[in-house]
Amino acid sequence: MRQLLIVAVILGLAACAIGDQPTTQPSGKAVRNVPQYLQDISVTIHAGTGLNVAQGSGVIKTRDGVNYVWTAAHVLSGLRTTRTVIDPKTGATKTAVEFSDAKVVKELTENGRAVGRLEMDAEVLRYSDPDNGEDLALMRIRKRNFVSASVEFWTKVEIPPVMTRLVHCGSLLGQMGSNSITTGIMSQIGRVRNNFVFDQTTCTAFPGSSGGGVYTEDGKYVGMITRGAGEGFNLIVPIRRIRSWAKKVKVEFAIDDSVSVPAEDVLKAQPVDDAGSAFASPTTQPARSVKVELNTMEKK
């Protein structure tokens, strides 16, 4: 009888170990509830003013109390303005590209219901043109310690293969659908559109999902939703492409903790818009409403 009891205890402990296996954040903090973790690192982004406000999704990367937000550039396009400036030394004119702050909104829940929201201003650090560039952007929330959670990026060299089960967490239809979680699979890898590489997923997404993360079932970030041709045909910018762009524009520290955060003057010395004046326009692109119907490969 005693031996049976010992065996039962051992089996019970093993079952607990398997069923309660936590994932971890880069900080080493255990994450036992992956859906809650994904909602903790996900935010809604409001870009624009008045009736012309775009709403999209973002993912938070935290380092030393500073919250950085990865999102799709087209979510922020309504914040971009240009003006002509004259170089006082040479008299030559050039186009200066500037960005207004976005609003980053974190939905608060308790006991299964929304109880409020936190809203903070965020400055645009880097931006790549939605049509002629990577359609990627990195922001920094102006207040320190807005949240403590931090995204964990996929670090393996191998690309998650077709049929890998994936999860999307984002603001489907904007703030109303904040922290929505949908599931699907990696339906194809290496789609090439306009000379840029995307992966494809069946995770359901709607306008407002743009900038939201796509993850493996254990919470590893594998890419960002940017475009789609329907609820279940969506293209993601894969993490391998995001890493490459981040290194190019010197913000790799917002992905890789082994890369030092540059001094503020060094960070600000680089242009925000990596397209430069070649793509500058005298008018601001209109923000995309979450009510826009999807066309073929429409931005989400």
Write down the pTM of the prediction: 0.82
Which two tokens mark 183?
């599931």
Q: What is the pLDDT of residue 25?
A: 53
**pLDDT above 90: residue 112:** no
Residue 23 domain-assigned? no
Residue 154 domain-assigned? yes
CATH number at residue 168: 2.40.10.120
Q: What is the pLDDT of residue 32?
A: 62
Determine the average pLDDT of the residues in 197-203. 97
Structural domain span for residue 53: 30-288
Instruction: Label residue 2 by pLDDT band (50, 70, 90).
Output: very low
Distance CA 263, CA 277 (A): 25
**pLDDT above 60: residue 10:** no
Distance CA 185, CA 163 (A): 5
Residue 235 domain-assigned? yes
CA distance to 137, 211, 214, 244, 260, per residue, from 256 (Å):
16, 19, 18, 12, 9
**pLDDT above 70: residue 267:** yes
The structural domain count of the chain equals 1
Adjacent-strand bridge partners of 25:
none
Residue type, 72: A
Residue 100 domain-assigned? yes
- The answer to whether the CB of 213 falls within 8 A of the CB of 167 is no
Q: What angle do CA 256, 260, 265 make, to 5 degrees?
A: 125
Residue 298 domain-assigned? no
Q: What is the pLDDT of residue 44?
A: 98
Q: Which of 5-14, 22-31, 39-48, 206-215 has the lowest average pLDDT?
A: 5-14
Which two tokens mark 112?
């299964």
Q: What angle do CA 131, 132, 133 make, to 5 degrees?
A: 100
Q: What is the pLDDT of residue 7?
A: 36
Task: Give the Cβ contact number of residue 59 at 10 Å.
Answer: 24
Residue 3 domain-assigned? no
User: What is the Cα 103 distance to its own chain's centre?
Assistant: 15
118-143 residue pLDDT tens: 999 999 999 999 988 999 999 999 99
Q: What percent of the chain has pLDDT over 90?
A: 66
**pLDDT above 60: residue 211:** yes
Q: What is the pLDDT of residue 85?
A: 86
